[in-house]
């Protein structure tokens, strides 16, 4: 019996992978069960003798049932294979890593979790948004924008009053609905807001504006999943559009604030 490694692949760019993850992929993995979000550059680091199975789970598309993934991991580990479950971002942040570790424990299989950089923090950073900043906010709330499929709708009206930066995963397809609920909950429509799609990847794009105009900007720019939405004063610190604000300008703006 061997153990299963639940590895976080980070937000996208291969060089944002942890050293521990890269080493396990390159030296130990025999079977890799990879999520859709994991980029080809990262899969290229897997040792050539290993088998890579895509067990994608992307909103709106056909996905591998979670139970099947659980059974497969247990069966392969029992056969003595070194199994890597490779997940986008961090395995324990909206990654069903908790459920997978429970399923492995129920099957008598040891699990080791290798954390990854979560998209909700690394993707805003890629466009100059610090999710916390002493001058603007005392905290950050990571929340899912998806309801249904066993997910409970977040309490948007409580979140509107939280006083923290809101970082919303899996919310871009429902941005109109989410914004309406936050405004109804008392969040001022002119609160800065941004959305970033395919962060840290070559196709990275983002928009920034206010809470009220975010849905129109997202649809005008055609931003689709995977995307992160950031709401709060820190979102105003984003570069106006990708690449047109050099790090020195950004630093000057942050210093002046």
Only one of the segments 19-27, 86-94, 153-161, 181-189 lies at the binding site for ligand SAH (rule: CB under 6 A); that segment is 86-94
Active site residue 170: yes
Whether the link from the prior residue into 226 is cis, omega within 30° of 0, is: yes
- Say how many residues touch ligand SAH, by CB under 6 A: 25
Measured distance CA(205)–CA(202) in Å, rounded: 9
Q: How far is the CB of 39 from ligand SAH (least distance, A)?
A: 8
Site for ligand SAH in 90-119 (CB under 6 A): 90, 93-95, 118-119
Report the run of H or E that residue 141 belongs to, with start and end: strand 140-144
Asked if 141 interacts with ligand SAH (CB under 6 A), we say no
Asked if 169 interacts with ligand SAH (CB under 6 A), we say yes
Q: Quick one: 5 or 169, whose CB is closer to ligand SAH?
A: 169
Q: Quick one: 13 or 81, whose CB is closer to ligand SAH?
A: 13
Asked if 124 interacts with ligand SAH (CB under 6 A), we say no
Active site residue 190: no
Say if residues 58 and 88 touch (Cβ distance below 8 Å).
no
Site string for ligand SAH, 172-211 (x = CB under 6 A): ------------------------xxxxxx----------
Residue with tokens 């950073």: 125
Q: Quick one: 81 or 193, whose CB is closer to ligand SAH?
A: 193
What would the two tokens of residue 146 be? Answer: 């998806």
Cα atoms found within 13 Å of the Cα of residue 90, Cβ hemisphere only:
15
CA distances from 55 to 66, 67, 81, 88, 148 (A): 9, 12, 18, 12, 21
Asked if 170 interacts with ligand SAH (CB under 6 A), we say yes
Active-site choice (73, 87, 170, 208): 170
**Chain centre distance of CA 126:** 13
Active site residue 67: no
Residue from 75, 85, 82, 23 nearest 53 by CA: 85
Only one of the segments 45-53, 106-114, 132-140, 222-230 lies at the binding site for ligand SAH (rule: CB under 6 A); that segment is 222-230
Asked if 127 interacts with ligand SAH (CB under 6 A), we say no
DSSP 30-74: SEEEE-TTS-HHHHTTS-TTSEEEE----TTS----HHHHHHHHH
Residues assigned a catalytic role = 35, 57, 170
Which residues of this chain interact with ligand SAH, rule CB under 6 A?
Answer: 11-12, 37, 87-90, 93-95, 118-119, 123, 169-170, 196-201, 225-228
């Amino acid at each position: 019996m061997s153990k299963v490694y639940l590895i976080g692949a980070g937000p996208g760019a291969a060089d944002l992978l942890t050293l521990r993850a890269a080493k396990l992929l390159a030296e130990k993995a025999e079977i890799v069960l990879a999520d859709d979000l994991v980029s080809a550059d990262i899969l290229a680091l897997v040792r050539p003798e290993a088998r890579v199975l895509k067990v994608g789970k992307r909103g709106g598309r056909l996905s591998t049932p979670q139970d099947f993934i659980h059974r497969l991991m247990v069966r392969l580990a029992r056969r003595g294979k070194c199994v890597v479950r490779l997940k986008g971002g961090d395995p324990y942040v909206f990654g069903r890593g908790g459920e997978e570790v429970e399923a492995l424990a129920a099957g008598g299989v040891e699990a080791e979790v290798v954390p990854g950089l979560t998209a909700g923090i690394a993707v805003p950073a890629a466009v100059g948004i610090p999710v916390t900043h002493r001058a603007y906010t005392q905290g950050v709330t990571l929340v899912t924008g998806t309801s249904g499929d066993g997910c409970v709708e977040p309490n948007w009206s409580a979140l509107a009053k939280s006083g923290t930066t809101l970082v919303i995963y899996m919310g871009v397809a429902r941005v109109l609905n989410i914004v309406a609920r936050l405004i109804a909950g008392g969040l001022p429509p002119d609160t800065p807001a941004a959305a970033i799609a395919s962060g840290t990847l070559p196709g990275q794009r983002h928009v920034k504006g206010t809470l009220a105009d975010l849905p129109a900007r997202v649809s005008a720019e055609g931003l689709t999943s995977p995307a992160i939405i950031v709401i709060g004063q820190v979102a105003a610190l984003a570069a106006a559009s990708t690449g047109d604000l050099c790090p020195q300008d950004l630093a000057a703006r942050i210093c002046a604030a």
